[in-house]
Structure 1
């Protein structure tokens, strides 16, 4: 049986990252989930953005934390898309039954954690969401407030054991360079699902497949799906 990792659209899709169009494009190309980034506005609304400022991705300027949600709503990306709220993104992912990997960029305050949970609960997104972050403190804040939610540490550069990673949740979102077969076996033994990022080309996809990871985050969902079809169609079938 040919098994390839599931595919998650990294920031949705690169041309329209962290927008509803980016999420739609990833799903249209065959993603089983989408990953996106969250910051909070000055009035406490979680919105999608990778960067702390809007300068790179929109025609506006300044930090998201210094803008109200209404001000952010007036912005457009350089390709004409709106900056969505977390509520809007989750509404879409739930409607399409997509895994939503929600990356927290800052460590949230208690009030920000509550706004996160309100968006998740209000959209009945609990079973679709994985809250993850490079900031261990951010993950711990969510786990303390909502131990029933799926969470994950996002990790790079140094080795991490399954026992250590399991302190932060039910999954591990890890740099593809750390995902050796031995490491993945250890993470799986600790009860973790393993996601690797950012795998954009066939050699990285083959390595992830050989290591036995559960899913890859990629900017190239369509090419990944075509590669997966080619790999599995070329796999010799057992003789009856």
Structure 2
């Protein structure tokens, strides 16, 4: 079975990383939610992708310069559509309280590659633990040092390094991080690379897959999960109600033969 994770919620249909987007993803039968977490000035984990609020709200400035209360004065919906005017930036705790009423899985991406957010790992981990959701949460980040901090706190925590480049034998790197999960960009998944992950029993959850033909191919490859902006389309492809011919992702590597490197 391949799980369908809604990327920042059902972000094609509602403003990303908002409660409307998360609720829409649940309606569309997503198995899980992928969301981004940053810290406010007063160390409250909030759900927003960019380090600044400019793109997805009517405000300006870095997330880290606002208190949580100040962030609640910003509108995070009307940039997407007038229909969502009044939407607010949710706190991670607000989301977790809602999530507990569902069967959703959760992928928390720690957005601490540009802003270091010292102590973020423990703050987020403790909040998840407080709500007794530890077994339904996966932590990912492009900051792999941060993922190792989580492993130090809890050797059983599920971590997944994010990457988007053509890593050499990436399964060996993933194993070096003491995990069996990885979240690569779909463009990196040449068939031989996927075989390497399979041979090492590494679970692949790939982002951000919105093309039905690429979805079909990845479902056929039995990857662990797809992360997508359009969970409804992914569900239709998976259950066969939307019939498409698969498109081999490896074709984007037409000048690259990974077999020569194995």
| TM-score normalised per structure 2 | 0.82
1:35 counterpart SS class: strand
Residue aligning to 1:92: 98
Of 79, 83, 88, the match for 2:89: 83
More deviation in 158-167 or 98-107? 158-167
Residue aligning to 1:237: none
* Alignment check: 8 A CA contact 2:28 2:231 kept: yes
Residue aligning to 2:210: 200
Q: Kindly tell me: are residues 89 and 170 of structure 1, through their superposed partners in 2, closer, same or farther at Cα, counting changes over 3 Å?
A: farther
Q: Does 1:146 align with 2:154?
A: yes
In the aligned structure 2, how far is the partner of 1:134 from the partner of 1:213? 20
In the aligned structure 1, how far is the partner of 2:180 from the partner of 2:66? 34
In the aligned structure 2, how far is the partner of 1:53 from the partner of 1:109? 14
Of 3, 7, 22, the match for 1:6: 3
- Match runs of 1:1-240 below 5 Å: 5-14=2-11, 15-77=14-76, 78=78, 79=84, 80-106=86-112, 109=117, 111-159=119-167, 160-168=169-177, 169-230=179-240
In the aligned structure 1, how far is the partner of 2:66 from the partner of 2:189? 39
Q: CA deviation at 1:25?
A: 0.6
1:95 counterpart SS class: coil
Q: Kindly provide the CA deviation profile for residues 17-50 of structure 1, in whole angstroms up to 9, marking residues without a partner as x.
A: 1111111111110100010001101111110001
Gaps in structure 1 of 5+ consecutive residues: 235-240
4+ residue runs over 4 A deviation: 107-110, 231-234
* Alignment check: 8 A CA contact 1:179 1:208 kept: no
Q: Kindly provide the CA deviation profile for residues 144-188 of structure 1, in whole angstroms up to 9, marking residues without a partner as x.
A: 222221111011111342121133323101111122333223223
Q: CA deviation at 1:110?
A: 5.1
Q: Kindly provide the CA deviation profile for residues 90-115 of structure 1, in whole angstroms up to 9, marking residues without a partner as x.
A: 22223212111000111555532221
* Alignment check: 8 A CA contact 2:72 2:89 kept: yes
Alpha-carbon RMSD across the aligned residues, in angstroms, is 2.0
In the aligned structure 2, how far is the partner of 1:105 from the partner of 1:111? 13
In the aligned structure 2, how far is the partner of 1:126 from the partner of 1:94? 11
More deviation in 101-110 or 115-124? 101-110
In the aligned structure 2, how far is the partner of 1:119 from the partner of 1:177? 34
Aligned positions, number? 231
